[in-house]
Structures are given as C-alpha cells and as structure tokens.
Amino acid sequence: MSWAAKTIGELCDQSEGIVQTGPFGSQLKQAEYVDDISGVPVVMPKDIKEGTIDEAEIARISESKASALGRHMLDAGDIVFPRRGEISKRGYIKEGGKYFCGTGCLKIHMPDNEVLNKYLFYYLDQDHVVKWLEGRAIGSTMLNLNTSIMRSVNINFPDLNSQKRIVSALSAYDDLIENNKRRIELLEESARQLYKEWFVRFRFPGHEHVKIIDGVPEGWDRGVISDFFDTTSGGTPSRKVPDFYTGDINWVKTQELDEGFIFSTEEKITDEALSKSSAKLFPENTLLVSMYGGTNIGRTGILASPAASNQACCALFPEDERSHYIYASLFFYFKRNELIAVSQGAAQTNINQQMIRGLKINFAPKSLMETFIDTLLPVYDQIKNLQREMAYLTQARDLLLPKLMNGEIAV
C-alpha cells in the first residue's frame, strides 16, 4: 500500500474545499437566536460531543437568518472544531443533518476527492495530531485555533479503496457505540418520565387516596437537600508537581459530568496527590453535581468506581434511609434551569455548596421511595452496562486507529 502526504490546505485547494470559521459576533447577534424547535441548529463548542453533534441544548436561528449567512451552513461530511478551549474535540456532520457553524467553531469542508472526509475525520482524532494542534494553538490560558493552523496540518493517506476499508473498520465500532447511545437515551427518558409522573405531577401509585396539602401530598416530608444529604467538594492537587498526575485514581472535572456513570477520566492522580491536597476519594455511586461553568451548572455524574474530583464538583452522600443517588440525579436533572438562573459570578457563572444544600426537595414515605428505586435500579443497571460496553468499544477503536493510519495493520 503506497501512501501520500499533503496538508489540509493543499487538499482543500485541489478539491474546492475550505477551512472556515463561523460568522463574526456582529453578523449573528444574541437577539437573533430563536426559541423555536423548527429553527436551524447552531453548533457551538459545547454541542460537539464524542464525534457528533448533541442537540440537547443547542441554540437555533431562523431559516431566513441561516439563508442570509448561507456560507456558514454545514454540509454532510463537514468536520467542525471548537475555535477556543477544548480544541481536541471534533464533530462529523452526517447525512440528513442540517446545521449552522456557530461563531465559536471552525469547519473543514472537503469533498471526497483524494481524501475521504470520513477518513480525514478519523485521522484528525489521532493523539499526535491533537498534540500538534495544541502545540501551535494561540493562547496560554485558553487555546485558540485559526484557519492557518488547521490548513497546515499534514495528512498521510493511502489510495481511496484503502481509505474506504479503514473507514469501514472504524465505523463498525462507532455504529455499535451509536446503537448503545440510542438505547441509553430511551432508558434515561423512561426514568425521567417516571420521576415526573410521581414527583412532579404527583400521580404515584395510590395518589387517588392522598390529599394534597400546601402543594405536597399528605405524609410527604418537605425540606432542603441538607436535611437528606451531606455534601462536600473536591480539590485540585498542585500543578507544580507533575508527578501528582501520574497515578491511577480517577480525578473528575465538571466537563466530564454528563448525566451518566463515570468509568474513567482524562486525568488521574496519585495517593500522594490525595494526601497533599483537598481532593478526597469518594465511594462508588457518589453523585457529583457541577457548580461551575455557566450552562454546565447542575449537570451530574455517578461514580462507577471510587474517584476524586476537583473543587468545582459537589459530592452528595445519603443522610436519610430514603436518600438515593438515582432519586437525587433525577431531582437535579429537573432543577438545572433553576440552578443556572440563580448562578452567580463574573467571568464564569457559578453556584456553591450552600446553594445546593438549601435547595427545596420533597421525600415520599419510605415504602413509596423504595418502590420507586426498586423500579429504576434495573434501568440504571442497564444504562451502566451499556456505558461500560461503550467504554470498551471506544478503547478498542482508539487502539486500532493509529495502527490503521500508519499502515501497521492492513485492511
């Protein structure tokens, strides 16, 4: 198998491709976003997750505004990157997807000519490429990409048939991962609907025979989080001691809280790091809540194994026999907008432990709470197993990726 090498810029120039940033803020003002599900989704860095576009909290603009700025629309096969911050992320626009490249993003539009766009998508996920981009990005506190940097990335590629086989091998893993994601979404939605039915609409088993007094079913306890849970936060070991970050203890940051189970983290710390910092080792099934990060506030994660976290995470520990991480995670899911609204801070909106501890919460009698948890435990076990399988598939794909891209494994 023979290989060639060209930069992204060279490939774009030869195939009518383009590397382009989203519109300037003056071209797309905040007031021009619409609260309409039929609007055109605008991809921002926060919406790029695990190689795809997550529409859960995506902003939208009108069709007319998207048409007026048509050069920023994303076509099938386009690759979109954050321009600032987490520049290692990238998303692939699938067939049928209709998206607009937001101000904070950069797109690569490359027709399938010498290099397949899906091959390019996988190639750019390699560690050495990510490190190359990070090493040339502008800024010390927050990395910034520009079109010149992206056009300078060198791409090694074999013939088109070989590229197709490589893409097929890697896509097989992604298809299995995507299938698991869809199953998880259905399970999560069923859990949320049950919570909403019982604890928001108060249509729990036997509700017909229970009076509502001051907005709460008779016999239920009203209180605040601190009545039912103890809380604490984590800490960050000194960055001046690099060895602190060479251990095998998972260390969770708020961007890793995504309403699911946490199996592994980007950074891991040592026992010494724990003992010489305010970081603490939390037990399995601890619920973590994000206190920092604007729209990330209120996101939760459940520890699949003991782990530590930074100080931006609030950890909850049951103080009542009815308290359970499943109930708490669903409570916070429906409280997120309220938490974001009351957040405070200047450069970055934050909440704190006292705000979380003071949140009003209702608890049903023990028998009803036990029925609720017993109903959802099998659901959460399925979610956990599916997420674990996804982690294994991701690991296997990521091990295969560089071997395919350097020709070590032929397909």
Q: Is residue 172 part of a domain?
A: no
For the stretch 201-219, pLDDT in tens is: 999 999 999 999 999 999 9
Q: Both 255 and 359 in a single domain?
A: yes
What per-residue confidence (pLDDT) applies to 348?
53
Instruction: Report the predicted TM-score, pTM, of the whole model to 2 decimal places.
Output: 0.87
How many independent structural domains does the chain possess? 2
Same domain, 189 and 110: no
Average pLDDT of the chain is 94
Structural domain including 185 reads 181-388
Are residues 355 and 235 located together in one domain of the fold?
yes
CATH (domain of 354)? 3.90.220.20
- Is 207 within a domain? yes
| 150 vs 97: CA distance, rounded Å | 24
Shared domain check, 370 and 256: yes
Q: Examine the domain organization and report whether 338 and 189 are in the same domain.
A: yes
Which tokens hold the place of 16? 């009518």
CB 143 within 8 A of CB 137: yes
* 82 and 38 co-located in one domain: yes
Query: Mean pLDDT over residues 173-199, rounded?
Result: 97
Whether 380 maps to a domain, the answer reads: yes
- Residues 137, 200 within the same domain: no
The identity of residue 173, as a single letter, is: Y
Whether residues 358 and 213 share a domain: the answer is yes
Q: Which residue has the higher pLDDT, 309 or 345?
A: 309
Residue 410 in domain = no
Residues 6+ apart with CB under 8 A from 217: 202, 204, 207, 210, 211, 364
Q: Following CA atoms 122, 123, 128, 133 in sequence, which dihedral angle do they give, to the nearest 10 degrees?
A: -90
Structure-token pair, residue 96 = 């049928």
C-alpha span between 26 and 28 (Å, rounded):
6
Question: Is 253 within the bounds of a domain?
Answer: yes
164 within domain boundaries: no
Do residues 258 and 288 lie in contact, with contact meaning Cβ atoms separated by under 8 Å?
Answer: no
Per-residue pLDDT tens for 19-77?
999 998 889 988 899 988 889 999 999 999 989 999 988 999 999 999 999 999 999 99
Least confident span in 25-34, 115-124, 347-356:
347-356
270 and 329 in one domain? yes
Q: Do 217 and 316 have their domain in common?
A: yes
Q: Is residue 171 part of a domain?
A: no
Is residue 122 domain-shared with residue 253, that is, in the same domain?
A: no
